Structure 1
Amino acid sequence: MQFRLTLRPIHRKTLVPFNYAYRLSAFIYSVLADADARYADFLHEQGYQYSSTRRFKLFTFSDLLMPNARVDTQAGGLWVNSETIEWIVSFYVDQAAQHFIMGLFQDQTCVIASPRHRAEFSIERVEAIPLAITTNTLTLRTLSPVVIAQKDERGMDQYLHPSDEAFGTLLISNLLAKWNSVPVTAGTADLLDETLTYRYLPGRYEPKSRLLTIKENSRAETKVRGYYGFSFELTGPKEILELAVFAGVGRYNAEGFGAVGL
């Protein structure tokens, strides 16, 4: 399920730090923990297992959609210049969980705090975004940076541009791994026999890249680069197209990367 949240700044002057995605991820975990501690702990500590080294959380979220935000490099953030902002959150869950999840976020206070900043928002509206997949091809646009990386001869990640020949191959491989991490119900095992393809759609502007830090100021701090501001076409079984929208594409989805929309 995909949801649109409307957030209202609590204070007249609100500065959101540049590196806010990991704080939003922590907020989602805290909301889930208040409602179902076992489920939140499962996602945070374990997730859905594909192999001994690969696990997936199967949720993601967009960048904050802040119209007319003012960039302030000296202050290290973005000044909110609108009465409300929007945020899209996606979960790969059963349709029956829609109202339950909407209720979790309604009337919550979202705090984005760093050693230098503290931005507070009240969530005043939560609405489900309808998704009806009627064809085997979707045109998707990025809602947050997509991280696709290939190891070089030194074992270091080389982050790929969405037009790179290997980008689509790795995106599809990651998506199929997500699919295989979920217990497959009877009658759906043959889905992977169908063709799944990626096609980059060049736009008026070149995709942009963003370098962000995950788990900032901790021993597990990691810097990753993702590309955003582009569209692509994904063709395949409807069930896997749905997975792409709700769970995200590429790596680090639960940290705020790979969110896509129609």
Structure 2
Amino acid sequence: MRITLQLSHRNRHLTLPVNVNHLVSSLVYNIVANSSSEYAERLHEQGYRLDTRMFKLFTFSQLIPVGYRRWKMNGNGTMTTDARRVSLLISSGKTEFIEHLVVGLLHQPLVMIGNQRFRVEAVKKLDPPVLDEVMQFVMLSPLVCTMKYPGEKYPRFLFPGDANYERIMWDNLVGKYEALYGRSFERESVSCSFEVSPEYRERRHGRITKLVTLKEGSDSETSVRGAYAPVRVQLPEELMRVGYDCGFGGLTAQGFGMVKPSRISS
């Protein structure tokens, strides 16, 4: 299930940090806490567990200026737009998450992102798209995939075309499916592919990734690199729905892995 928020502000220009993911993630938890602080704390600290793995089962988009406006990147780590409204898409496979989010918004017509105040002008539920086993998506936020190799201290970021990429994406989606529905996914064979549009890759001279810094300026600052390009995905329909609702890949609750269909591939 997916909703979109329309947020307005009263400034002539809106300026926010380029690395705004952590602020938006905090906003989402705060809104949910207005409905149930107990649920928000449990979601933040525990999520939905599958054995030793934990999934938050929600994701959100980048902030999108309304009215065909764009963000202008400044040289000091901020971005500015003259759009008077921005939209934010939030998605989850858990009905209870969306319900708490909507109830929380009823109690919070004014919200904060960083030091900027916004009025919630509209909350709209989006109709679910028809999803097939082969889909063409555009990314609303970067898609993160990591793997820790033996003997290495930190995981590596992987991208479409890398060895092990599709296996890790498959395992992630199966884990989310089982945490979401409380039952095993019964497919034995791995039928999974993620292919970046060759035309887009060529047009971008191979630059298909985006670097995002989380908790910028804090002791726990982390840099995350994800794929950010049109992608053709082949999956069983059940897992395609999980990816659409809950986000593809890792760190979805920090604003990664949200997609929208562009067209059905043949």
Deviates more, 1:215-224 or 1:168-177: 215-224
> What's the counterpart of residue 250 of structure 1?
249
What whole-Å deviation, never above 9, does each CA across 1:40-74 have from its counterpart, x for those lacking one?
1110110111232x211100001111222211113
CA contact (8 A) 2:160 2:194 kept: no
Query: What amino acid does structure 2 have at the position aligned with 1:232?
Result: R
Gaps of 5+ in 2: 202-206, 262-266
In structure 2, the CA distance between the partners of 1:55 and 1:136, relative to structure 1 (3 Å rule), is: same
2:159: which partner in 1?
161
Contact persistence 2:208–2:228 (CA under 8 A): yes
Q: Give TM-score, length-normalised by structure 2.
A: 0.84
Q: Deviation string for 1:232-257 (max 9, x for gaps)?
A: 21320x33221111110111110111
1:79 aligns with 2:80: yes
The residue correspondences of 1:132-151 to structure 2 (distance < 5 A) are 132-133=129-130, 135-151=132-148
What's the counterpart of residue 174 of structure 2? 176
Is residue 16–residue 80 contact of structure 1 (8 Å, CA) maintained in 2? no
Structure 1 position 162, deviation (Å) = 2.1
The separation in 1 between residues aligned to 2:129 and 2:24, in whole angstroms, is 27
Q: What is the total number of aligned residue pairs between the two structures?
A: 251
Q: For 1:72 and 1:242, locate their aligned partners in 2 and report how far apart those are by CA, in whole Å.
A: 37
Contact 1:145 1:226 in 2 (8 A): yes
Partner of 2:204: none
Query: CA offset at residue 103 of structure 1?
Result: 4.5
Matching residue's letter, 1:162: P
1:70 aligned residue:
72
* Pairwise CA distance, 1:203: 4.4
| Aligned 8 A contact 1:203 1:230 in 2 | no
Aligned counterparts of 1:223 and 1:212: Cα–Cα separation in 2: 6
Pairs within 5 Å for 1:39-50: 39-50=39-50
Q: Distance in 2 between matches of 1:190 and 1:210?
A: 32
Q: Partner of 2:119: helix, strand, or coil?
A: strand
TM-score (norm 1): 0.85
> What's the % identity of the aligned pairs?
25
- Alignment-mate amino acid for residue 247 of structure 2: G
SS at 1:131's partner residue?
A: coil
* Structure 1 residues 1-262: aligned runs within 5 Å: 1-52=1-52, 54-66=53-65, 67-74=69-76, 76-94=77-95, 101-105=101-105, 108-113=109-114, 118-133=115-130, 135-152=132-149, 153-184=151-182, 189=184, 191-193=186-188, 196-206=191-201, 208-236=208-236, 238-262=237-261
Following the alignment from structure 2 to structure 1, what is the Cα–Cα distance between the partners of residues 158 and 10? 39
How much does 1:35 deviate? 0.2
Deviations 1:14-61 (A, max 9, x none): 201111011100010011011011211110110111232x21110000
Deviation at 1:209, TM superposition (A): 2.0
For structure 1, the residue ranges without an aligned partner over 5 or more in a row are: none
Q: CA RMSD in A?
A: 2.4
Whether the 8 Å contact between 2:136 and 2:230 is mirrored in structure 1 is no
Deviation at 1:195, TM superposition (A): 5.0
